[in-house]
Amino acid sequence: MNRVTCTIDGQTVTVPEGTALIEAARALGIEIPHFCYHPHLPVAGNCRMCVVEIQGSPKLEIACNTAAREGMAVRTDTEAVRAARRANMEFLLANHPLDCPICDQSGECLLQEYWDAHARHASRLRDPKVTKGKRIDLGDDLVLDQERCIACTRCVRFSETVTRTGDLVLLGRSDHQRIGPATGARITHAYQGCLAEICPVGALTSRSFRFRKRVWWLEEVDSICPGCATGCNVRVCVQDDTVHRILARRNDAVNRSWACDEGRGLYRELAAPERPLLGRVAGRPAAREEALAAAAARLGSARRPGLVLGGQATCEALLALVRLHERALPAARLFHVPGPDPGRRAWSDGILVHADKDPDTRGVRLLATCAGGVEDGEALARALADEALDLLLVLEDDALGRLGIPAAPGVVALAFHGHRSAAAAEVLVPVAGCWEQDGTYVNAAGRVQRLHRAVRPAGEAVPAYVALHRLGALLGVDLGCSTSEAAAGALAETISGFPREVGPEGVVLPPPLDGGTP
Amino acid sequence: MPNRPTGRKRTLAERTYLLPVLRDLARTGAHLVRTVARPEARVTVEYPEVEKPMSPRFKGAHRLLLRDDGGPRCVACMCCAMVCPAKCITIVAREDPEDPQEKVPVRFEIDLLRCIFCGYCVEACPKDAIRMDTGIFELNAFARQDLVHGMAYLTNLAKDARAEAAVFHRQHPEAAPPGFLPDEPLPVDPEILARPRRRVPPVTRE
């Protein structure tokens, strides 16, 4: 592709031909203010906030819809540009209800930020403000306030190009222009959270997050969504050791700027009432250490143990289990039961949602190769029916539920969810959820991505690799997985070619590890 | 000689101490006569039977104001909780489909044990919902929890003695009168509100 070199505010930048000035400026670290432009939506060019001065051009041009050309000299901070931004902000805010105290966008609202940075004017409006619909129920997770809307049409373009549902339209003209549902019906698609997230003002807000926290209190931790094998990059918003919402994190190779509503709602699993927070031994609540000791005693005396590698476990935990097999339980048989857990639908939509609801199935396959192969669900069902196993260690997945087996004798479960295998377990060890631990997932496309701990594990839970490391210690072997760093290092040592550092965007597995798609 | 910082020799009158003592006795006596003759000129008050007038700017215990329709003015924007240097304000917000203002506080607590009475919360409030104009400075209670003022207490005007009693009775239900409902908004007797506070006239110093 041809590359062009242009000058923005005196700095020279070389970008591919066709790159919008707004992106060229971003490459230089110059942020041009904008409402309607979004890198993953078609350009509308209607907010007029990103105007810049181009040498030789008689009028100001919008930076979102002007491609960088060879030798172009652009200035983003001249008096003409500043005056245009000021005037633009005055128009945008003329009828704004200014209900920032009750608006959830407050604190991450572009109107607030740009007024402060570029306008700082007082209202000159003498007529009463135009009133429009407020608190409109637009969907299960979406509330519309038409007064706050600046008609940037990001949501309309999202509905047209991403979900392709076309269920939002711009209605009316002039100062009566507003966003509304195209057919009057509520929005039913699975990306309502994206609409609330891309809205640059408080017109579209998420019902599940509405009024729960002010955004300036939330700390954001970069992590990965455990909802399916796509492995969307997310930001986990935390205050007081509690996850309050999940936002998408931009990763052009995985999820662009989006995340589905199912994934956004997964933080509720951390506080689900059925989640085990304490260990259990033979139906009696037990401290974690007691449960681990009971598990170690049973594993030590088992003659025909089976170990289930779970697709919801991190690669670190899977490695710990494989090492436990190698070093302490060579007689054990390894199984993997593909998903989804009962209660979850194996659906996909071609946008983000993957039919495989386990975030780390590829990780299971990698570690299975390491361990010399695993047996499938059918083999496990047969083994259980023939009573060929006297103990079954289940790592995270609901192996019994997936096979439709109500109960099995001698189940040791390391469980985050309160699923059937956890309920049927003789020994239960509570383990941390995805956002409660550091770890690694390999998504369906073979991209290695790292989780970061956003909150402390609830109750007695610890990351599964820590629990397994302790189990190994009780059985007299060192698994080398006591911390996330040690476990990640062990992964890179064990699987040759497995990346040690993956960075915020993840790393695709190098050949030959990348072979085969699920 | 020690005790003579000026280096001046004491006079006989000073050395006897008699004249200064008599002079100060005369001053005390004059005050006594004057305050007996003109009580309004007294600079001291017989607190707690009599209260001194408070400056209108005095920052006392907080109260939450109500809208004309009776709902709380507070929209739970959390500005006061944000600005509070003592972190003594706890607010939990909720959406109220009935309420015209969308967002209402379900919990609003001020921990007066932590409060430093700086008044930033009043400054920060965009709705003029919180004020510190009750003039109440006598903050005492039988239990720490009684000085954590909740919504009901704050909106019902801490001037009401019955509100104070109700706070106590919440903590000690065994001592509560029959029919006391701990979760009900505290009763405000209009008669109590109308009752003028005992005040001495403003002090005018010569």
Judge whether A216 is closer than 8 Å to chain B, CB to CB.
yes
Cβ–Cβ < 8 Å for A467, A340? no
A231 or B144: which carries more pLDDT confidence?
Answer: A231
Measure the CA–CA gap between A55 and B87, rounded to whole angstroms. 53
pLDDT the model gives residue A343: 86
The residue-averaged pLDDT of A111-138 equals: 94
pLDDT at A62: 96
Average pLDDT over chain A reads 93
pLDDT at B169: 57
Mean pLDDT of A48-68: 95
Question: How far from B158 is each of A399, B152, B167, CA to CA, in Å?
Answer: 60, 10, 10
By the 10 Å C-beta count (0-12 exposed, 13-18 middle, 19+ buried), A241 is classed as: exposed
**Could A102 and B127 be called an inter-chain contact, meaning their C-beta atoms sit closer than 8 Å?**
no
B77 in reach of chain A (CB within 8 A): yes
User: Quick check: A207 pLDDT over 60?
Assistant: yes
Residue A1 has a pLDDT of: 74
Q: How confident is the model at residue B41 (pLDDT cuts 50, 70, 90)?
A: confident
Rounded average pLDDT over A292-300 = 95
Sequence-separated (6 or more) residues with CB below 8 Å from residue A115:
A89, A93, A121
Chain mean pLDDT for chain B: 78
Smallest CA–CA distance from B102 into chain A, residue: A102
Whether B94 sits inside 8 A of A211 (CB atoms) is yes
Taking residues A163-178, report their average pLDDT: 93
For the residues B58-86, what does the mean pLDDT come to? 89
Q: What is the mean pLDDT of residues A294-309?
A: 94
Chain B residues 85-124 with CB within 8 Å of chain A: 93-95, 101-103
**In the predicted structure, residue B191 carries a pLDDT above the cut 80:** no
Res B192: pLDDT: 45
For residue B44, give the 3-state DSSP assignment. coil
Q: What DSSP letter does each residue of A237-270 carry, written as one string?
A: EEETTEEEEEEE--BTTTTBT---HHHHGGGGGG
Chain B hits for A134, CB-CB cut-off 8 Å, are 102
pLDDT of B199 above 50 = no
Which residues of chain A does B94 touch, with a Cβ-Cβ cutoff of 8 Å? 211
* Closest Cβ opposite residue B75 in set A101, A210, A216: A101
Contacts of A291 (CB under 8 A, 6+ apart): A279, A280, A281, A427, A428, A429
Size of interface A-B (CB pairs under 8 A): 28
A133 interfaces chain B, CB cutoff of 8 Å: no
* Mean pLDDT across A80-93: 96
pLDDT given at position B182: 58
DSSP state for residue A314 in the 8-state scheme: -
Indicate if ipTM > 0.90: no
Would you state the pLDDT for residue B137?
A: 82
**Mean pLDDT, range A164-180, rounded to an integer:** 93
B109–chain A nearest CA distance, Å: 16
Dihedral, CA atoms, A465, A471, A474, A475, nearest 10 degrees? Answer: -110
Name chain B contacts of A216, Cβ cutoff 8 Å: 82
Q: For residue A211, list chain B residues with Cβ-Cβ distance below 8 A.
A: 76, 93-95, 103
Say what the pTM is. 0.84
Closest by CA position to A9, among listed A76, A80, A82: A76
Quick check: B127 and A214 CB within 8 A?
no
Instruction: Tell me the CA distances in angstroms from B189 to B67, B132, B162, B195, B198, one per residue in order.
Output: 19, 21, 8, 10, 18
Comparing CB atoms, the residue among A100, A101, A210 nearest residue B95 is: A210
| Chain B, nearest residue to A103 by Cα | B77
Q: What number of residues does chain A have?
A: 518
Report the percentage of chain B scoring pLDDT > 90.
Answer: 29
**Quick check: B148 pLDDT over 50?**
yes
Residue bearing the bigger pLDDT, A454 or A516: A454
**Residue A348 near chain B (CB below 8 Å):** no
Contact A102 B94 (CB under 8 A): no
Element (H, E) at A447: strand A447-451
Looking at beta carbons, which residues of chain A come within 8 Å of B76?
102, 211
Q: How many other CB atoms are there within 10 angstroms of residue B195's CB atom?
A: 11
pLDDT at position B174 is 65
pLDDT at A468: 96
Q: What is the pLDDT confidence band of residue B67, given thresholds at 50, 70 and 90?
A: confident
Q: How far is A212 from chain B (nearest CA, A)?
A: 7
Percent of chain A with pLDDT over 70: 99
How far apart are alpha carbons A312 and A505 in whole angstroms? 20
Please state the rounded mean pLDDT for residues A83-96: 95
Express each pLDDT in B123-143 by its tens digit: 999 998 998 877 788 888 888
- For residue B93, the chain A residues in CB contact (below 8 A) are 211-212
Q: What is the pLDDT of residue A497?
A: 86
Mean pLDDT calculated for residue range A8-30? 95
pLDDT at residue number A404: 92
pLDDT above 60: residue B203: no
**What does the block give as tokens for A106?**
């407050």
Whether B153 and B163 have beta carbons less than 8 Å apart is answered as: yes
Could you read off the pLDDT of A335-349 as tens digits, one per residue? 999 979 888 889 999
CB neighbourhood size of A263 (10 A): 26
Q: Compute the distance between CA of residue A373 and CA of residue A461 in angstroms, rounded to an integer.
A: 29
Q: What is the pLDDT of residues A450-499, one digit of tens each?
A: 999 999 999 999 999 999 999 999 999 999 999 999 999 999 999 988 99
Helices A288-301, A464-474: axis angle to 10 degrees equals 50
Average pLDDT over residues A233-254: 96
CB B200 within 8 A of CB B50: yes
Share of chain A above pLDDT 90, in %: 91
pLDDT in tens, B159-183: 454 455 555 556 666 656 566 555 5
Query: Which of A101, A106, A216 is nearest residue B127 as measured by Cβ atoms?
Result: A101
Residue A21 clears pLDDT 70, i.e. is over it: yes
User: Closest Cα to residue A402, out of A383, A382, A427, A419?
Assistant: A419
